């Protein structure tokens, strides 16, 4: 496959950022002179991964996208449009599996992208071919960073941790890096496995980070206990779909994180998770269910894979079968819900034939239905 010219282009763009959050936690760190704000958006893309990184310092704007969601989804472009994004300085794809590279073609077609970074591994999948064709058709530069390389992107410091060389295993070769802004650091490892995590420990001088995106969607193939201790995060985030067939996150990983007193957030339970930092302090804000899973919580309840209040049924998105799990919503009413949506709130369900004030109260008391994760 024809390689694209390697360009390091970090152009300034004026963009906006709106979290629309529901719950916030603040933790203080050491003082630093970094100006401006950094926002890291762990986007809810179901059983996939996509993280949007946005640095704002007055008129200076830098945007990075790490992974681009699953090929069956269409969340990333609308989310970036919601944030009023017109361009991306760098798009980093950890590895070319369809749940990480899946929406790259849509991103490339919609946004002005300065640079695309990939591991260098290739596949024969149509998703990969579509992605590479989209890159070739764009004006974006292309790079395959390697362990030990460091980049300054405005006030951001990005250190590549992995891979050093390619093995040909897509997960093992996941492009991994540590992002630092002032005194606050974030770690991203894609689907790298435990063996690769240990290699990062041996290779890098510093892999500590306040915030860790748990490897492989919280799978027990990643998150080696020694690695977790070396990173020493205060917050761990995993990206996984509700009731996913892989049973992510795995209980072994959750227990490893809880044993280290790490607060855990997941996109399946919390929706999109946003961390805002000025380089001294950071806030964790969630789309829904604002509390973190930690050692004070009942983990058996947190790990349930069922549509309870923790995993509500969004009446604007749920299938007919899912809607029928809501009390008083049978076959006919489920069809009406689908026909009349979107709804701005659960109160609008009063428009459904046969649902009066008493029935609506019982639906709310069941605490299963929601609108947009409310």
Could you state, in order of their start, the residue ranges of all structural domains in the chain?
Answer: 23-302, 312-370
CA–CA gap between residue 357 and residue 368 (Å, rounded): 17
Decide: helix, strand or coil at residue 255: helix
Q: pLDDT tens digits, the chain, 374 residues: what are they?
A: 333 333 333 332 223 333 344 444 343 333 356 778 999 999 999 999 999 999 987 778 999 999 999 999 999 999 999 999 999 999 999 999 999 999 999 999 999 999 999 999 999 999 999 999 999 999 999 999 999 999 999 899 999 999 999 999 999 999 999 999 999 999 999 999 999 999 999 999 899 999 999 999 999 999 999 999 999 999 999 999 998 889 999 999 999 999 999 999 999 999 999 999 999 999 999 998 766 777 664 444 344 433 333 468 889 888 877 788 888 898 789 888 988 888 888 989 998 988 988 888 888 877 889 987 55
Decide: helix, strand or coil at residue 341: coil
pLDDT of residue 362: 81
- CATH C-level class of 312-370: mainly alpha
Determine phi and psi for 322, rounding to 5 degrees: -65, -40
CA angle 15, 278, 118 (to 5 degrees): 60
State both tokens at 175: 């492009």
State both tokens at 314: 């969004």
Decide: helix, strand or coil at residue 147: coil
Report the CATH fold assignment for 23-302: Metallo-beta-lactamase; Chain A (3.60.15)
**Strands ordered across the beta sheet of 60-66:** 23-28, 281-286, 273-277, 37-42, 51-57, 60-66, 87-92, 112-117, 141-143
State both tokens at 354: 């046969």
Q: Tell me whether residue 150 is exposed, middle or buried, using C-beta atoms within 10 angstroms of its C-beta: 0 to 12, 13 to 18, 19 or more.
A: exposed
Q: Would you say the C-alpha torsion 213, 216, 218, 222 has a positive or negative sign?
A: negative
Q: Are 211 and 205 in contact (CB under 8 A)?
A: no
pLDDT of residue 33: 66
CA–CA gap between residue 57 and residue 60 (Å, rounded): 5
Where does the chain have alpha helices with state H? 76-82, 98-101, 104-110, 126-137, 194-203, 225-231, 251-259, 267-270, 299-302, 320-323, 331-340, 357-366
Helix (H) or strand (E) holding 180: strand 176-181
Q: Would you say the C-alpha torsion 3, 4, 7, 12 has a positive or negative sign?
A: negative
Determine phi and psi for 363, rounding to 5 degrees: -65, -45
Paired sense of beta strands 313-314 and 37-42, if any:
unpaired
pLDDT of residue 18: 38
Residue 293: DSSP 8-state: B
Q: Would you say the C-alpha torsion 104, 108, 111, 116 has a positive or negative sign?
A: positive
């Amino acid at each position: 496959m024809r390689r694209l010219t390697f360009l390091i282009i970090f152009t300034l763009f004026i963009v906006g950022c709106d979290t629309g959050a529901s719950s916030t936690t603040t933790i203080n760190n050491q003082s630093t002179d970094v100006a401006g704000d950094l926002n890291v958006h762990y986007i809810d893309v179901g059983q996939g991964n996509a993280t949007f990184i946005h640095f704002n310092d007055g008129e200076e704007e830098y945007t990075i996208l790490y992974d681009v969601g699953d090929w069956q989804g269409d969340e990333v472009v609308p989310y970036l449009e919601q944030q009023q994004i017109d361009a991306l300085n760098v798009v980093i794809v950890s590895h070319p599996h369809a749940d990480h590279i899946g929406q790259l073609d849509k991103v490339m077609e919609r946004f002005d992208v300065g640079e695309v970074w990939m591991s260098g591994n290739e596949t024969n999948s149509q998703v990969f071919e579509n992605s590479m064709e989209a890159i070739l058709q764009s004006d974006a530069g292309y790079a395959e960073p390697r362990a030990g390389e460091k980049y300054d992107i405005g006030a951001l410091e990005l250190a590549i941790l992995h891979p050093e060389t390619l093995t040909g295993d897509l997960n093992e070769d996941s492009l991994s890096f540590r992002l630092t802004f002032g005194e606050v650091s974030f770690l991203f490892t894609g689907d790298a496995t435990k063996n690769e995590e240990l290699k990062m420990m041996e290779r890098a001088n510093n892999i500590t980070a306040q915030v860790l995106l748990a490897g492989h969607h919280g799978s027990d193939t990643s998150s080696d206990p020694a690695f977790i201790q070396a990173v020493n995060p205060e917050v761990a985030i995993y990206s996984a779909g509700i009731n996913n067939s892989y049973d992510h996150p795995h209980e072994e990983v959750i227990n490893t994180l809880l044993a280290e007193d790490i607060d855990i957030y997941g996109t399946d339970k919390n929706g999109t998770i946003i961390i805002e930092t000025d380089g001294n302090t950071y806030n964790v804000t969630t789309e829904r269910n604002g509390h973190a899973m930690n050692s004070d919580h009942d983990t058996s309840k947190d790990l349930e894979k069922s549509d309870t209040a923790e995993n509500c049924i969004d009446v604007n998105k749920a299938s007919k079968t899912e809607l029928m799990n809501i009390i008083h919503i049978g076959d006919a009413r489920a069809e009406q819900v689908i026909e009349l949506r979107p709804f701005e709130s659960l109160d609008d369900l009063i428009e459904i034939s046969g649902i009066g004030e008493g029935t609506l109260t019982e639906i709310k008391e069941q605490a299963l239905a929601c609108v947009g994760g409310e």
